[in-house]
């Protein structure tokens, strides 16, 4: 018997205004040693996610931050996948993240 799996993750469209941008790290401990790994950045967004309007978190990598230099007040949008652990209430960016407007100045998305 063969079962087809339909575990295809659906991308969720989101957009809004950035409230904060914070680095994400993973702290590891082994006996008496500690180390950390940079995971990218957490963007706190006030806007719409799917059909809801609320605050939410989107995780982006270092490359995305280096390209767009995200900062509070920017208007952003994109498509993302939901994270498996719902307690985190966070999305993982996957594609089409756009900086639509820069806070405090004119911005052209190139």
Q: From residue 4, give the alpha-carbon distance in Å to each of 1, 57, 75, 82.
A: 10, 32, 40, 22
Residue 19: predicted pLDDT: 95
Query: CA 6, CA 3: separation in Å to the nearest integer?
Result: 9
Query: CA 37, CA 64: separation in Å to the nearest integer?
Result: 17
Domain coordinates in residue numbering, the chain: 12-26+38-101
Residue 91: predicted pLDDT: 58
pTM over 0.75? The answer is no
The residue ranges of the chain whose pLDDT is under 70 are 1-9, 85-101, 103-110
Residue 11: predicted pLDDT: 85
Residue 62: predicted pLDDT: 87
Contacts of 65 (CB under 8 A, 6+ apart): 21, 40, 41
Q: Superfamily for 12-26+38-101?
A: Nucleic acid-binding proteins (2.40.50.140)
């Amino acid at each position: 018997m063969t079962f087809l799996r339909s575990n295809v993750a659906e991308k969720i469209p989101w957009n809004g205004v950035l409230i904060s941008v914070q680095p994400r790290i993973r702290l590891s401990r082994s006996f008496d040693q500690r180390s950390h790994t940079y995971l990218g950045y957490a963007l706190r967004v006030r806007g719409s996610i799917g059909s809801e309007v609320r605050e939410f978190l989107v995780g982006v990598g270092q490359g995305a931050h280096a390209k767009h230099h995200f900062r509070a007040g920017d208007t952003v949008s994109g498509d993302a996948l939901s994270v498996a652990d719902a307690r985190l209430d966070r999305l993982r960016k996957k594609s089409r993240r756009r900086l639509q407007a820069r806070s405090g100045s004119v911005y052209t998305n190139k």
